[in-house]
Structure 1
């Protein structure tokens, strides 16, 4: 019922837009473009509203333009094959000159191949996997940021706090796998180990998620990087909280795939994510953007605008500019000799307009709502990421990362002052960690069900200021003290990970020494420490 209602609202808005466009289209050339999206999802609802607003704003401010984009919607139904089928339907029935979408990287992989073979540009504002770049298609334009751009921001956070090991938790699909080679390389450059990779299916049951998390609980590593969709992240963090992996001492870092859409996660999911850090796409504030945000809140108070919506807005603007400049000649598909044996795809012919359109689209530049819009090698290039800390019902900004100067509290921080910084507090604002802890987690510790370090302590009659064992008269417990003990504790506390240990005095039941130093060493190397 909910999906039907969303579909109704969605198509009504499209009809109004099309009729409005036609009202302005006296002697204007209508150009069909396709939009492939998962109709009825939150992300699709936001993006489609932004597409509608973009077209209305663009043509109302440029009445002299001779072309008018007419969006034709096709539902990909949250499916890879569905997206490919939707693209083919748009090309066959509407002869669209370009296609906006699809929503996910998995869907984009097939659509890019179709666009390449039929010379129809594919412009996606939400497919972020680096694996799509490897396809090297001149007909694919990424009007968003590739996931690999954020890995240096993530590694800078790891390096700042001195953590030496991390576990990566990611979804088992093209989106999840795409970032892995780049993230692995970035962590290796700062000598950080990845002892385990947790790969979780998008359709994993709660029981399967619990089993995987329980496995991670037995590991000493306490720093985790999470890269997946918000729907899966919400389920996983709820389980993480239930199992006890959000206690003090744990560190969770979100990629921008989650951090950019925290507003779409339900209340239960956000409550389970208290204290996590996130790398978020930074959209610089300026007058036109704030005006648009104010208008959005007034028109759609129940829906929070995100970066993907802004990219959708800018992508449509870019396409409208390119089509106006390309003109209206050759807006046809080549005829195919149906007498010879051809595939169904080949029978659609080749777009005669595509080669010219991609050439012009590659050169389009303007100041968009999400920032400077310009394609470099077919995709947008970020310069800044925001670092956030999830507290309460939303995230709080604690700093920024730039390629030039790394992590800083403020973007106007001078570069020469950054080099003189000595502690993490000079780079980032105050952080509240999981478990409401204020101290920085060490990132590594012996798990509760793991073995603790057993340390034999000699019972001495002399030089007790170096190592001494005495009985507390109040608690009747043994107290191990002295310079060597204090030095050992100071070293372990300064280490970048936690070491759990217990002292075992080498003495008899009556409190007298059980032997000399050589006897104690022999017990250690012979494996008889359990008898202390």
Structure 2
């Protein structure tokens, strides 16, 4: 299968595309690549080079993306064969960070550059391959935005939720460091297998419910996210009081998710890649809707378009000399890479790619140390059928209070606050009875003071006032000591004579047992 076949006498330059053919996101990016090539050569009719593409179907498999393999009885042209047999000078892709990790070393040995518009794991940068270019944003670039949100609302504990692979793990060191800078504690982490069943997801969610932390940062892929949040809603973790912060792994693809998937995420907060408005972008979106009326577009499609434009520009600048591969002595001694040759064109293409700079559909395009640099992120609230950009954070569109981010677990005991009742000085503590339900109603300065302290705390505390009548303070304290009274705290009001003509009232809050 070929995209952008040459139609003139320009020199063909072979380029490979590694993608998960047949998936909705893959179809979208392949269409964008095709449109990019068409647009580029329409605007450059005298171009000396012409990209001719061959598509590798990785079928979402890491090994198949990197080496020769037979998948379900069907022989596919693989990434290794692209170099050995097709002699491609450049590879666009692969889609996932796991696939890219396996491919980078082989491409470096063959001196064939890789430009990925979707592999976002920071781990890939640690490989330090000059032949790997990231035409998207490193996941670590968004942790400062996440940190700012958490700092703004004063949440003191955050529990990360991420998928158990290179993609999920890559962001964690950066997120951990960012939260440590603002003294935010990570009490535990929830790691979800990429192949987790619904039952396995439910087990993890139930475990999260028993923990006091109510602020979660979620870094998982779209297909897993839709099932994860469906179960979270079913179990009861999507109600008010819980805080969910999504990374752009999910928010950037909200536009291509279906209504049922988005419905499970209503009210959550997210960090999203900012794409500046431009006339070129508006025109492209209009063309897209006319050409593919039932297919949605995400920022990954824009990055695929821009990456293809960058590659066409770089190849045009590199020219057509030395489009050859040679076998080196070092390669002859490596049985696993038998037959793999080294591109003589790669080093020159490496230089021209590093110099490419233009205004793309997704914003300014320039590789700095092999990566694009983000200028900003949007903060979105999932509301309705998409993520609505907001100038301030709120849990739900009609929320009137900020969730505390911490509370006593649903299976935990409510705090029992013992309140000694005296008929004197009722302006400090007063007990009345509801005439209908006969329930206790507490009022007075000490009650107001206690509740004001609770409201000022950065986490929720569930409690009940329990009246203690007919005894003095010493008796009550001794009963707590003996275990007769199961009070966590005692609320006292006492009078002290500081002067014969002056009486000063003091409210003392004594705490026993669990800390608030």
- Fold equivalence (TM over 0.5): yes
1:176 counterpart residue number: 168
2:492 counterpart residue number: none
> Do the aligned partners of 1:121 and 1:354 also contact (CA within 8 Å) in 2?
yes
Query: What secondary structure sits across from 2:297 in the alignment?
Result: coil
Query: In the alignment, which of 443, 460, 465 is matched to residue 481 of structure 1?
Result: 443
CA distance in 2, matches of 1:257, 1:80: 19
Aligned positions of 1:450-465 closer than 5 A: 450-465=412-427
1:433 counterpart residue number: 396
Query: In the alignment, which of 376, 384, 407 is matched to residue 368 of structure 2?
Result: 376
CA distance in 2, matches of 1:485, 1:197: 38
1:89 counterpart residue number: 81
For normalisation by structure 2, the TM-score amounts to 0.89
CA distance in 2, matches of 1:129, 1:325: 30
1:305-363 deviation per Cα after TM superposition (whole angstroms, max 9, x unaligned):
11111111111111111111111111111134699644241531211111111111111
Q: 1:341 to 1:492 in 2, by over 3 A?
A: closer
Query: What secondary structure sits across from 1:529 in the alignment?
Result: coil
Q: Does 1:355 align with 2:347?
A: yes
Q: Does 1:255 align with 2:247?
A: yes
1:104 counterpart residue number: 96
Q: Does 1:520 align with 2:454?
A: no
CA distance in 2, matches of 1:38, 1:358: 26
Query: In the alignment, which of 230, 238, 244 is matched to residue 246 of structure 1?
Result: 238
Segment of structure 1 superposing worse, 466-475 or 185-194? 466-475
Aligned positions of 1:384-399 closer than 5 A: 384-399=376-391
Per-residue deviation, 1:526: 4.0
Number of residues of Structure 1 aligned to a counterpart in Structure 2: 478
Q: 1:141 to 1:290 in 2, by over 3 A?
A: same
CA distance in 2, matches of 1:521, 1:82: 71
Q: Does 1:214 align with 2:176?
A: no
Task: Give the CA RMSD over aligned residues.
Answer: 1.8
Segment of structure 1 superposing worse, 519-528 or 197-206? 519-528
Point out where structure 2 has 5 or more consecutive residues left out of the alignment: 68-77, 489-516
Per-residue deviation, 1:397: 0.9
Per-residue deviation, 1:531: 8.2
Per-residue deviation, 1:64: 1.4
Per-residue deviation, 1:525: 3.8
Q: Does 1:529 align with 2:509?
A: no
Query: What secondary structure sits across from 1:157 in the alignment?
Result: helix
Query: In the alignment, which of 439, 448, 456 is matched to residue 494 of structure 1?
Result: 456
User: 1 or 2, which has the higher helix percentage?
Assistant: 1
1:242-273 deviation per Cα after TM superposition (whole angstroms, max 9, x unaligned):
11111111111110000000123232221111
CA distance in 2, matches of 1:377, 1:367: 18
- Moved beyond 6 Å, runs of 4+: none
Q: 1:183 to 1:91 in 2, by over 3 A?
A: same
1:204-241 deviation per Cα after TM superposition (whole angstroms, max 9, x unaligned):
11111111111111122211111110000000111111
> Do the aligned partners of 2:251 and 2:271 also contact (CA within 8 Å) in 1?
yes
CA distance in 2, matches of 1:337, 1:106: 30
Q: Does 1:323 align with 2:315?
A: yes
2:259 counterpart residue number: 267
Q: Does 1:78 align with 2:40?
A: no
CA distance in 2, matches of 1:344, 1:220: 51
CA distance in 2, matches of 1:398, 1:531: 44
Q: 1:126 to 1:468 in 2, by over 3 A?
A: same
CA distance in 2, matches of 1:232, 1:133: 25
Q: Does 1:446 align with 2:408?
A: yes
1:276-320 deviation per Cα after TM superposition (whole angstroms, max 9, x unaligned):
111111110111111011000100111111111111111111111
Query: In the alignment, which of 49, 65, 85 is matched to residue 47 of structure 2?
Result: 65
Query: What secondary structure sits across from 1:211 in the alignment?
Result: helix
Query: What secondary structure sits across from 1:175 in the alignment?
Result: helix
Point out where structure 1 has 5 or more consecutive residues left out of the alignment: 1-10, 400-427, 508-512
> Do the aligned partners of 1:234 and 1:266 also contact (CA within 8 Å) in 2?
no
1:5 counterpart residue number: none
For normalisation by structure 1, the TM-score amounts to 0.87
CA distance in 1, matches of 2:210, 2:314: 55
1:4 counterpart residue number: none
Q: Does 1:235 align with 2:227?
A: yes
> Do the aligned partners of 1:336 and 1:348 also contact (CA within 8 Å) in 2?
no
Query: In the alignment, which of 100, 117, 123 is matched to residue 125 of structure 1?
Result: 117
> Do the aligned partners of 1:231 and 1:265 also contact (CA within 8 Å) in 2?
no
> Do the aligned partners of 1:433 and 1:440 also contact (CA within 8 Å) in 2?
no
CA distance in 1, matches of 2:300, 2:42: 23
Query: What secondary structure sits across from 1:455 in the alignment?
Result: strand
CA distance in 2, matches of 1:338, 1:368: 40
Per-residue deviation, 1:84: 0.2
